[in-house]
Chains A and B, each alone.
Chain A
């Protein structure tokens, strides 16, 4: 029984691995390193019809055409950089999931750093004011709570 379960698990896993690489039915390259390069490249390219999928994952006609294009360019000995330039010359930076750092995209890339600096700055200010004037703070609190009910009133 246990052996059966283990076997079923192995079959499930194996079929998932197969499906991930074989949207076109068969592998594009018989050579394993070429196939790995092909998979990596097509995962970096965005399918433009269904904008939240990569060219590797999409069933759209255009994605199949772009996969064919990548296969042919690889078979012709083109580098990854040449293939990516081919795509961006036609479809723009949007076709890449990782847009290059340019004058138009610096804000996109810099936003996380900017936000982090902003938060750190804010936190630093709060910590400094709190630690410098602990007496004022507690006096404020006492003032604020004094017109309220006394502690014993709740019951």
Chain B
């Protein structure tokens, strides 16, 4: 009896396990390409970069400390960034917390034209043309959005275009907790 049942049960469990994982991938709960950032819970990497929008001034990350802020990694070359742009403008209009742009591996002239055309959601935009700051932040694609606490600790990282749902389900609960 068990001689026949054991393999059947093993196969059934294996099948159930695999279909559970596949269903989670299919529903978007599980992204196998996403890489958990080792930066979470650690101090945000500091940087001083030239400002994209204000000539001969620099963006210094130490000035952001004291209250939570968002860092959004983007580039005028990045199609998915264009996709989330309306959401960024919306977040900026909420005025809940500063939104800092990190223009990654971009031609500054084209990036400025991009912001002029589609609107500038950022309080400040740092120009990381060489991509060195992005490496320190563990960036591997654009867009990526980081939430940093007032103490300067990385609380959350989101990979991919921001949507209304992501903002409400993932960012807002963390921001509410930080503010209170």
Residues of A within 8 A of B (CB): 48-49, 51, 61-62, 65-66, 69, 88-92, 94
- B residues 15-52 with Cβ under 8 Å of A? 33, 35-39
B150 at the interface (CB under 8 A from A): no
Shortest beta-carbon distance from B111 to chain A in Å: 15
Contact for A65 among B36, B39, B131, CB less than 8 A: B131
Interface of A (DSSP majority class): helix
Q: Across the interface, do B35 and A94 meet the contact criterion of CB distance under 8 Å?
A: yes
Shortest beta-carbon distance from B56 to chain A in Å: 26
Q: Across the interface, do A69 and B105 meet the contact criterion of CB distance under 8 Å?
A: no
Q: Across the interface, do B35 and A48 meet the contact criterion of CB distance under 8 Å?
A: yes
CA distance A29 to B19 in the complex (A): 49
A90/B136 contact (C-beta < 8 A), A49-B141, A61-B105 known = yes
- B residues 86-138 with Cβ under 8 Å of A? 105, 130-132, 134-138
Q: Across the interface, do A90 and B137 meet the contact criterion of CB distance under 8 Å?
A: yes
Q: Across the interface, do B138 and A92 meet the contact criterion of CB distance under 8 Å?
A: yes
CA distance A91 to B139 in the complex (A): 8
Size of the chain B interface, CB-CB below 8 angstroms: 18
Q: Across the interface, do B38 and A91 meet the contact criterion of CB distance under 8 Å?
A: yes
Q: Across the interface, do B137 and A61 meet the contact criterion of CB distance under 8 Å?
A: no
Across-interface contacts of A88 in B (CB, < 8 A): 38
For B34, the closest partner residue in chain A by CB is A94
- B residues 132-166 with Cβ under 8 Å of A? 132, 134-141
A91/B140 contact (C-beta < 8 A), A48-B35, A51-B33 known = yes
- Known A-B contacts: A48-B140, A62-B131, A65-B132. Give 15 more (CB < 8 A): A49-B140, A51-B33, A61-B105, A62-B141, A65-B131, A65-B135, A88-B38, A89-B38, A90-B136, A90-B137, A90-B138, A91-B35, A91-B138, A92-B37, A94-B35
Across-interface contacts of A89 in B (CB, < 8 A): 38
CA distance A62 to B135 in the complex (A): 8
For A129, the closest partner residue in chain B by CB is B3
A69/B135 contact (C-beta < 8 A), A49-B140, A91-B38 known = yes
CA distance A49 to B131 in the complex (A): 14
CA distance A60 to B27 in the complex (A): 29
Shortest beta-carbon distance from B54 to chain A in Å: 26
Across-interface contacts of A92 in B (CB, < 8 A): 35-38, 138
CA distance A51 to B32 in the complex (A): 11
CA distance A90 to B130 in the complex (A): 17
27 pairs, CB–CB < 8 Å, chain A vs chain B: A48-B35, A48-B141, A49-B141, A51-B33, A62-B139, A62-B140, A65-B105, A65-B130, A65-B132, A65-B134, A65-B135, A66-B135, A69-B135, A88-B38, A90-B38, A90-B39, A90-B135, A90-B136, A90-B137, A91-B35, A91-B38, A91-B138, A92-B35, A92-B36, A92-B38, A92-B138, A94-B35
Across-interface contacts of A69 in B (CB, < 8 A): 135
Across-interface contacts of B141 in A (CB, < 8 A): 48-49, 62
For B36, the closest partner residue in chain A by CB is A92
CA distance A29 to B33 in the complex (A): 33
Across-interface contacts of A90 in B (CB, < 8 A): 38-39, 135-138
